[in-house]
Amino acid sequence: MVNQIVNKIENAPFILEMVETTSNLYRLGWDERNGGNISYLLSEEDITPFLDVTKTIRNIPMDFDGSALIGKYFLVTGSGKYFKNVQKAPSENLGIIRVAADGKSVDLLWGLENGAVPTSELPSHFMSHIARLSVNPNNRIVMHCHATHLLAMTFTHDLDECLFTRTLWQMCTECLVVFPDGVGIVPWLIPGTNEIGIATSEKMKETRLVVWPHHGIYGAGETMDETFGLIETAEKAAQVYTIVRSQGEVLQTITDEQLKMLGERFGVTPKSGYLNL
């Protein structure tokens, strides 16, 4: 029949990606309990084969200004939802929302069953989307997780962004190539607040990775794979750092001159001022 939606949304590529990613994050131990959240910017064309976008289930208020995203659709993880459970019940743990015309609420179009709400970190996600879109119109993903070794490093390493970034770059040769923009670091702030959202999004204008000391990390990117890979690469470097420190004295490392040569070879520009040359 014409206009009838026959495709099951559980089979939509963006739902499958979200299920796969949340499951992987859980299995890696970076999203214990309800830890972590993901938001995925979707186009109307992505959704219409699966959903009637004129049907709103309910309206959910937000207490920050999302005017810059009015009319935009997002697939989000639910607040208090366990990544462990997303695979077996996507419609209880995920939701598709559209930023409403008032810019201060979202319309729920699918999921978040039984009165669930979007992640409590929606301010940080939406403000980060706004920041990333201002520098890259193709940005679609914002991902937060409690990556274990990065989190641990915020206790033992200087929290200066330049020093922290350079240590990560030194731990694996690939790091500089994957995140030449380095990592931003916000002060310790209360999660879920507009304040941490503002601080995170300010950093997101310059870098796609933002560390939340003693909590976790935010990553942003054009695709789920790219964003996951970004966090995974930084986390691997932090794991190597952990092992290096536990082994003892460092006898040699990648020099700043070598990092510069690496950047030249791979056509990336290390964040200005981060190498001592």
Annotated active-site positions, please? 121
Nearer to ligand 13P, 76 or 131 (CB): 76
Cβ neighbours of 114 (radius 10 Å): 7
Beta bridge partner(s), residue 118: 78
Which residue in 120, 193, 253, 258 binds ligand 13P (CB under 6 A)? 120
Cβ neighbours of 127 (radius 10 Å): 25
Interacting positions 15-34 with ligand 13P (CB under 6 A)? 34
Taking CB within 5 to 8 Å according to partner kind, which of Zn ion, ligand 13P, none is near residue 80? ligand 13P
d(CA 151, CA 212): 8
Q: Is 75 strand, coil or helix? A: strand
User: What spatial distance separates the first Cα and last Cα of the chain, rounded to whole Å?
Assistant: 67
Using CB under 6 A as the binding criterion, the count of chain residues that bind ligand 13P stands at 12
Nearer to ligand 13P, 85 or 105 (CB): 85
What single string gives the DSSP state of each residue in 260-273? HHHHHHHT--PPTT
Q: Does 61 bind ligand 13P (CB under 6 A)?
A: no
Taking CB within 5 to 8 Å according to partner kind, which of Zn ion, ligand 13P, none is near residue 193? none
Establish whether 125 is an annotated binding residue: no
Interacting positions 168-227 with ligand 13P (CB under 6 A)? 191
Nearer to ligand 13P, 22 or 165 (CB): 22
Establish whether 215 is an annotated binding residue: yes
* Cβ atoms of 216 and 147 closer than 8 Å: yes
Q: Does 36 bind ligand 13P (CB under 6 A)?
A: yes
* Cβ atoms of 107 and 74 closer than 8 Å: no
Provide the mask over 199-218, with x wherever binding to Zn ion is found by CB under 5 A and - wherever it is not: -----------------x--
- Both tokens of 269, joined, read 């520009």
| Region of 114 on the Ramachandran plot (φ > 0 left; ψ -120 to 50 alpha; else beta) | left
Interacting positions 129-148 with ligand 13P (CB under 6 A)? 144
d(CA 114, CA 257): 57
Residues annotated as binding site? Answer: 144, 146, 215
Site residues (vs ligand 13P, CB under 6 A)? 34-37, 77, 79-80, 119-121, 144, 191
Residues annotated as binding site for Zn(2+)? Answer: 144, 146, 215
